[in-house]
Amino acid sequence: MSRVRRLLSRISVRLLAFNLILVFVPVAGVYYLDVYERQLLDAQERAMVQEGRVLAAALSEHGPLQRADAEGLLARLRQQSEARLRIVDPEGRILADSSRLGPRFEPDSEARSRPTRVRDDPLYRAGAWLYRQAERVLGWASSPEPEVADISGPSDVLATPEVRAALAGRYGARTRASPGGRRSMTLFSALPVWDGGRVVGAVEVSQSTTRLFRALDQTRLSVFKVLLTSVAVAAVLSLLVSTTFVRPLRRLRDESRVILDRRGRLRGHFRGSRRQDEIGELARALEELTHRLEDHARFTESFAADLGHELKNPLASIRSAAEVLAEVDTPTARRHFLELVQREVARMEHLVTASRELARIDAGIETEERSSVDLGSFLSAIAEGYRLRGETGPRVELGPAPGPIRVRGVPERLTAVFENLLDNAVSFSPANGTVRIELGQAAGSAVVTITDDGPGLPEGSEALIFSRFYSFRPGQSKSEEGHTGLGLALVKAIVEGYGGSVSAATRPEGGAAFTVRLPSA
């Protein structure tokens, strides 16, 4: 059962079923042909009755029927009627028969003896067999088969019920089929001829349905051919469509199964596609996704390796100091090594705190709830905070803003960005120098430039300074000044998380310039 359910859930099977449902709509047309056949038979009977009434009216009120009058009337019709007309007296003798007046009449025996070519067609037989099976399964009501009899009629027409009914003053009708089956049916209608309120004879009209049924059979065969052709086309189209859709999807499925190892690590990536449809877009999106996952995995591994390397030095210093501390006796030496241990522990705590913050930003900055921030007022408050510290050092100046410039972000994150940049600029500028903040707007982005009067950037380090644990301070060590080399890496992570960019360059007049671009709100 589960295997059948899996089979039915396949896209290719569903496509084929959908196409076949559309194809089998013409089957309703085949079924309607039966209804149409009954309507044609009713119309043919009505036409025969009307023709018989006209003929009976022409013979009525002229006294007893005479053979000469009856034959003369039929002769004047010049065989323009497709039906067979017979005039009968009250004793049942045939006074006139249109079949004896010329070659226009096609004997029913010939129609019976000549097989219908359409019904002998193997394709028609196959379709008829399928239709009968559908009738049996679906319970469609089939038309009752007419009585099988010799349609040439007996020598004594009084033996026919329709003539007896007409001679009794009623309308008589009968449908008969030859031994060849219902495809050679003949309709009989009989009407009385009146004279002064009494029946003096009857008019019998008969007409074969061979031509009508032959046309309907030909129509059925044509519809069945169209149906078979449509089924074949639907199967081919379903195969092509399923190949177009299912094969690339199956390839993506196979790639997804081998893209991870048992430990959940990426060991490959999705291959892109040149297709321009939705499947191609999906393949390219998955390829981009795996590349990003690879980059993130490399970032995580590299970050862990870098952090381990950075922690290795203070741990080595602490271990050495602890070993020496056990051997020294003087209080001054002991205090020196204790201060060294405390300094290295504080450095480790700073490293761990900064690394944790960097990891939190990398993991959750996309989901943080952001608000609209006016950068002019925001930077003014930060600059004022630096001036209120009262520390000796370079001045922090904020240039005039061209107008209200707003960005979307978390104020605490933006504070970390600009305070890290300002701390970096202040630490490199001389005591009498100036750190300038310029705010502008370009190409739909807010642009903040922070410049200093320091020595500038080492050649070729414009991109390296945003790397984790990178620090270039000639004559100073990280442990002496408490620098972890994570400040600018933190700046880059936040700015890029907000869809912006940060860059650094050495100014021609001296000093460094850091430019932050953030999308305007």
Query: Is the same domain home to 353 and 486?
Result: no
Decide if pLDDT at 138 tops 80.
no
Burial tier of 171 (Cβ tally within 10 Å: 0-12, 13-18, 19+):
middle
Query: Is the same domain home to 339 and 412?
Result: no
Furthest C-alpha separation in the chain? 163
Write out pLDDT tens, residues 445-502.
999 999 999 888 888 777 788 887 777 665 455 444 455 677 888 888 899 888 999 9
Q: 98-125 burial by CB neighbour count: b if 16+ within 10 A, else e?
A: bbebeeebeebeebbeeebebbebeebe
Q: What is the pLDDT of residue 245?
A: 73
The answer to whether 456 and 507 have CB atoms below 8 angstroms apart is yes
Most confident segment among 23-32, 141-150, 341-350 = 341-350
The CA–CA distances, whole Å, from 296 to 66, 210, 286, 290, 301 equal 113, 82, 15, 10, 9
The CATH number assigned to the domain holding 43 equals 3.30.450.20
Write out pLDDT tens, residues 403-449.
889 999 999 989 989 998 998 898 888 888 899 999 999 888 999 99
Most confident segment among 129-143, 171-185, 240-254, 364-378 = 364-378
Query: Is the same domain home to 325 and 375?
Result: no
For the residues 44-53, what does the mean pLDDT come to? Answer: 87
* Exposure on the CB side of residue 67, measured as CA atoms within 13 A: 4
In a domain, residue 241? The reply is no
For the residues 289-304, what does the mean pLDDT come to? Answer: 77
Query: Is the same domain home to 391 and 517?
Result: yes
Cα 387 to Cα 383: distance, rounded to the nearest angstrom: 6
Query: Is the same domain home to 380 and 502?
Result: yes
Write out pLDDT tens, residues 86-129.
999 888 888 888 887 755 544 444 444 444 467 777 887 787 77
Query: Is the same domain home to 349 and 482?
Result: no
**Positions of E strands within 360-500:** 371-374, 395-398, 406-409, 434-442, 445-451
Query: Is the same domain home to 26 and 170?
Result: yes
The answer to whether 431 and 464 have CB atoms below 8 angstroms apart is no
Burial tier of 58 (Cβ tally within 10 Å: 0-12, 13-18, 19+):
middle
In a domain, residue 495? The reply is yes
Of 348, 367, 386, the last residue of a domain is 367
Cα 417 to Cα 134: distance, rounded to the nearest angstrom: 77
Q: State the chain's mean pLDDT as an integer.
A: 78
- List residues bridging with 398 in a β-sheet: 437
What does R_g of the chain's alpha carbons equal in angstroms?
52
Most confident segment among 70-79, 196-205, 282-291, 335-344 = 196-205
3-state secondary structure 125-153: HHHHHHHHHHHHHHCCCCCCCCEECCCCC
Give 517's DSSP letter: E
Cα 190 to Cα 84: distance, rounded to the nearest angstrom: 12
The answer to whether 275 and 283 have CB atoms below 8 angstroms apart is yes
Q: What is the pLDDT of residue 350?
A: 75
Decide if pLDDT at 154 tops 60.
no
Cα 192 to Cα 56: distance, rounded to the nearest angstrom: 7
For the residues 5-22, what does the mean pLDDT come to? Answer: 61
Query: Is the same domain home to 361 and 374?
Result: no
In a domain, residue 239? The reply is no
Amino acid letter, residue 360: R
In a domain, residue 272? The reply is yes
In a domain, residue 25? The reply is yes
Query: Is the same domain home to 485 and 438?
Result: yes
Q: What is the pLDDT of residue 509?
A: 86
Question: How many percent of the chain have pLDDT more than 70?
Answer: 80
Of 315, 341, 367, the last residue of a domain is 367
Give the number of domains in the chain: 3
In a domain, residue 248? The reply is no
- How would DSSP label each residue in 228-264? HHHHHHHHHHHHHHHHHHHHHHHHHHHHHHHSB-TTS
In a domain, residue 468? The reply is yes
Query: Is the same domain home to 384 and 351?
Result: no
Q: Which two tokens stand for residue 302?
A: 């590299």
Cα 32 to Cα 36: distance, rounded to the nearest angstrom: 6
The answer to whether 105 and 206 have CB atoms below 8 angstroms apart is no
Cα 209 to Cα 263: distance, rounded to the nearest angstrom: 80
Between CA 257 and CA 261, with CA 260 as vertex, the angle to 5 degrees is 110
Query: Is the same domain home to 151 and 220?
Result: yes
- List residues bridging with 515 in a β-sheet: 449, 503
Q: What is the pLDDT of residue 98?
A: 86
Q: What is the pLDDT of residue 183?
A: 56
Q: What is the pLDDT of residue 106?
A: 47
Query: Is the same domain home to 458 and 470?
Result: yes
pLDDT bin (cut points 50, 70, 90) of residue 37 is confident
Burial tier of 412 (Cβ tally within 10 Å: 0-12, 13-18, 19+):
exposed
The answer to whether 88 and 185 have CB atoms below 8 angstroms apart is no
Write out pLDDT tens, residues 360-402.
777 777 778 889 999 999 999 999 888 887 667 788 999 988 8
Question: 464: domain range?
Answer: 368-521
Of 230, 245, 273, the last residue of a domain is 230
In a domain, residue 250? The reply is no
Q: What is the pLDDT of residue 156?
A: 62
Q: What is the pLDDT of residue 12?
A: 60
